[in-house]
Amino acid sequence: MRVDVYLPLVLALLLAAVTPHVGRRISPALAARALTTAAVLTSAASTWALVLLGATLIDEDPSVASEAREGGRHLPEPVPDAIAIASLVVLGVIVYRVCRALRSHQASRRALRGLCDGHPPDSELIVAASPIPRAFAIPGSPGRILVTASMLSALGPAERRVLLAHERAHLTHRHSVLSTAVGLAAAANPLLVPVRSTVTFLLERWADEDAAGVVGDRRVTAHALARAALVSQRTRSRCTLHFSEHAVARRIAALQALPPPRLWPIAVAVLGLGAVPALGAVDATGDLLHLLAGPLLG
């Protein structure tokens, strides 16, 4: 129990450490799926590990303790009380963070649905007559693509096709599901925040590769990104730069190289990193039940 229960916490660090290497070396579609799955498993396991550590306080429950004393038995103390209490505190923080992530997710969905008002339900493209150059996919069934008029007029015909193919790729491959999943995993385990950043980047790379395939020209795809980034820059305030600061430049560089290979062994190794803490958590659960049940059932 002692090892198993701390395992998910350590492996979350390891997953975060290998993430950038995985993201650079294998095809974005495979890397994004493997990293998201591993992150969800790891965060579920680490949250459950905290529940188990907190549950060891049951030993202290007066009825359990007195029953054990009457039976002349000694209750095992697998985890120091301080750690158990700290685990419950951390668990409270996690619940708060996950609720906050869910609320902001819902607020953004509501705002996006509002943007579709007044457009026919069976048209894929929604144009906003706005001077701010923007383009994004609105998930849903059916998903929609919102592009502002200023973005459309900044691009040439082939580049507009890249833009539409890129946003369409987000919708067909349900990138919003992966993005929400890895977002919740990072909310439940802040050690996984770097994994979330990498997956966010990989989803863009995935859509870029898809668009390059549809248009059949990696160079035109890179040009579309460069032009869109430059025109967006004019209306973007400097303070909105964040972790993705170098994202566009890195995406353009990647399009000028060959498409990365689908290396299954690396993906399987990443999934293993997620599976180990999950198995550890299951094992630790068994150990705890055994510890508690032993004295109680005599």
Partner 1 sequence: MSGEDRRRTVRRSAGELESEVLATLWATNQALTPAEIQREIGGGLAYNTVHTILKRLYDKGLVLRDVDGRRGAYGPVKNAAELTAEAMRQALDRGPDPIATLQQFVTGLSPDEEQALRDFLAGGAP
Cβ proximity to partner 1: between 181 and 229 the closer is: 229
Quick note: the x/- pattern for partner 1 over 12-51, rule CB under 8 A, is ----------------------------------------
Contact 116, 126 (CB under 8 A): yes
**Bond prior to 190 in cis (omega within 30° of 0):** no
In this structure, are strands 135-138 and 125-128 parallel, antiparallel, or unpaired? unpaired
Q: Choose which of 18, 64, 229, 275 interacts with partner 1 (CB under 8 A).
A: 229
Dihedral of alpha carbons 180, 185, 189, 195, sign: negative
Q: Is 130 in the site for partner 1 (CB under 8 A)?
A: yes
Q: Closest approach of Cβ 143 to partner 1, in Å?
A: 11
Quick note: the x/- pattern for partner 1 over 70-109, rule CB under 8 A, is ----------------------------------xx-xx-
Binding to partner 1 (CB under 8 A): which residues in 276-295? none
Cβ proximity to partner 1: between 69 and 246 the closer is: 246
Three-class secondary structure of residue 109 per DSSP: helix
Q: Choose which of 2, 81, 140, 153 interacts with partner 1 (CB under 8 A).
A: 153
Q: Choose which of 249, 268, 289, 293 interacts with partner 1 (CB under 8 A).
A: 249
Cβ proximity to partner 1: between 1 and 32 the closer is: 32
Beta carbons within 8 Å of 211's beta carbon, 6+ residues apart: 162, 163, 165, 166, 169, 221, 224
The vertex-13 CA angle with 12 and 14, nearest 5°, equals 90
Alpha helices in 116-217 (DSSP H): 149-154, 157-172, 175-188, 193-215
Q: Closest approach of Cβ 25 to partner 1, in Å?
A: 22
Contact 177, 194 (CB under 8 A): no
Q: Choose which of 38, 41, 146, 191 interacts with partner 1 (CB under 8 A).
A: 146
Q: Is 205 in the site for partner 1 (CB under 8 A)?
A: no
Cβ proximity to partner 1: between 69 and 219 the closer is: 219
Cβ proximity to partner 1: between 97 and 105 the closer is: 105
Q: Closest approach of Cβ 31 to partner 1, in Å?
A: 16
Give 247-280 as a DSSP string. HHHHHHHHHHSPPPP--HHHHHHHHHHHHHHHHH
Buried residues in 152-184 as b, exposed as e (16+ CB within 10 A): bebbeeebbbbbbbbbbbbbebebbebbbbbbb
Q: Is 141 in the site for partner 1 (CB under 8 A)?
A: no
Q: Choose which of 87, 148, 221, 285 interacts with partner 1 (CB under 8 A).
A: 148
Contact 1, 41 (CB under 8 A): no
Q: Closest approach of Cβ 273 to partner 1, in Å?
A: 25
Residue 56: how many CB atoms within 10 A of its CB? 22
Compute the distance between CA of residue 109 and CA of residue 122 in angstroms, rounded to an integer.
19
Tell me the window of 42-50, 175-183, 258-266, 269-277 that interacts with partner 1 (CB under 8 A). 175-183
